[in-house]
Amino acid sequence: MTIRLKLLRKQKGWTLEFLAEQTGLTKSYLSKIERGISVPSIAVALKLAKALQVSVEELVSDRRNQELVSITRAAERAPMDGGGRAVESIAANLAPKQMLPFMLRPPLDFVASAFKEHEGEELLFVHQGRIEIEFPDQLVQLEAGDSLYFNAVLPHRIRSLDGSEAQVLVVVSDRDSAA
């Protein structure tokens, strides 16, 4: 995944320090993202896009494609940092857009993933296998064909069940970018 962070930041005339203040991230971490040493998580990409007032896709895309249709073949999915989970971006070349779709292969154990929360809403559709989503006061199990839609500010984490890796289509919508 190519991050256009430095270009977008410089277009605004912002320093790394100013962007760090706007996002609550460290200057060091932002520098590592700009140099390609670190790949931001989805939650961090949402924070950066919000601060820069661009869509997540504008942040991660090599070009600003104004096409109306984006086809992503299975072999063309762009890997993203999923915090220990296998995550592949879908429709990465289409920008701007109001949704962030990706394929997720959740870990087999919650230990590998901390609770996540971010602005907007989230839709999970289980393509293959079984998963469990943990919220602070609720556990939800889903199997192939099931879906779950929720407000993503609610802390959540996900894992595969039955000892085999599930495949989940995840669509994240940032309310601020949808306006």
pLDDT digits (tens, 9 = 90+) for 52-109: 988 887 777 655 444 556 667 777 776 776 555 577 777 766 666 678 888 999 988 8
Per the CB < 8 A criterion, the answer to whether 158 and 113 are in contact is: yes
Other CB atoms within 10 A of residue 10 CB:
11
Separation between Cα atoms, residue 42 and residue 123, nearest integer Å: 14
Q: Which residues contact 175 (CB under 8 A, 6 or more apart)?
A: 119, 120, 121
For the full predicted model, state whether its pTM sits above 0.75: no
Digit-coded pLDDT (tens) for 16-29: 999 999 999 999 99
Tell me the H-state helices in 13-66.
16-23, 27-34, 42-52, 56-60
